[in-house]
Structure 1
Amino acid sequence: MPVVALTTYLERATQGVWDVPAAFLPRPYVEAVTASGAAAVLLPPQADPEPAAAAVLEGLDGLILTGGVDVQPELYGAARHPLTDPARPDRDAWELALLRGARERGIPVFGICRGLQVINVAFGGSLHQHLPEALGTERYRLGGGVFAENTVRITDGTRLAGLLGAGEYVVHSYHHQGVDRVGTGLAVTARTDDGLVQGLELPGDEYLVAVQWHPEENAADRRLFLGLVAAASAFRARRTASAPVPAGGTDA
């Protein structure tokens, strides 16, 4: 069984009498991974991200960069918008370190919502910090924890189309930021009718797929998670086959 890791929030959380900083992730993310045939592990932000990322990645077969607060605009050279979330440099540094390390090792990566934005910034792209100003619409974040439904158009010939099919596809949205300048080397795989980027991937053999929507909220369609788990299984098989044989050889 492949091991797929998901990045987590590090925020204040309440449970019973406790109101404390906590590492957590909404349950639908974990269920989407386990229902797709992988073991799920959670990766909260670490105080020393580079060596911590190197350590944890050695035991992983797949990585999911999950949703959450806004990426720091300072990372793509923009002035901070008044409605951009307070900076979370701990999470930004952690996820960027995990992404670099995963790519160095060939570990398949899947980005969801914020995860797509982290990937775009890592490749030198930029973000619209508040879509209602950039596009004149609140269609992507209704507020109150209610996911909006939007229709995206998936580009034929992409890895995303191989997973979901080309053409129109209804998604669950909850974001107020989005891709502005596309990162170098990334291919746009889906857009909405207003032109907003809804999917990115890296062409070629490297498995790096990202969507702006929340596929974990659609329990009836696990194809994006099944695609990642299949890639993680293949990576695990390659990793196992290339592992050195212990001294003394193997039993007959």
Structure 2
Amino acid sequence: MNARLRATEGVAWTASPPEHNLLNPDHLTSRAEALARPAPVPAQPGVYAWYFDVPPSGVPHDGTHRNAFGYLLYLGIAPREPRRSDGQPSSQNLRKRIRTHFRGDASRSTLRLTLGLLLSEELGIQLRRNGSGRLTFGEGEAAVSDWMAEHSRVCWYVHRQPWRVESELISELVLPLNLDQNRHGSFHETLSGGLGLGADVEEGLRDHGLRGRLVLADLVERRSQLGARLRAQQ
């Protein structure tokens, strides 16, 4: 394990700066704070970490880092690694990305998409295509926002090239809500229930770009594993 991160007592993690700001933040920012003006979230590139006081049903938290508020379950960066021909990163930054997670919709936020699918029964929402062909929870997006406002907080640190540390952090921390670069995570093996989707939604996910394909592949694998476990119990 990299010397910057190390586990103690199985679930408490310590880190050297600047990762210390993710694992032992002085303050965790709420939805209301992140959306306020002026905003406390800097309009700069960096890494952000999402904490939940109550993990969505079925999400394991064994081995995750925990603080006084709750469990660290998700990590992201802004912007993504440049893929343009000129090698320049996008205009995304911490402020834009965190606000999108807090008030956007499932078509623009992998975190909201994952949470909405996990919470669909509890919140009474369903993923559907809207008039423009995007997959969202429609009016149910407000329920996702309300749930996040109550149960989630975020922190961050500024990094000029956050994609250079993302893979390492995901590989060394236990982050069950991360899908990309996290195939080693225990969530794939321990999830206790399926996330049934209609054929139209599955077709939509296939057409929903890389993020949708990642989510669909992950869901298909989970259902396959769940079916195998059920057959083994018969």
Is the TM value for this pair above 0.5?
Answer: no
Q: TM-score range by the shorter chain?
A: under 0.3
Which one has the largest radius of gyration? 1
TM-score by length of 2: 0.27
**More helix as a share of residues:** 2
Of structures 1 and 2, the one scoring higher in RCO (CA 8 A, sep 6+) is 2
TM-score w.r.t. structure 1 length? 0.26
Q: Considering fraction of residues, name the structure with more strand.
A: 1
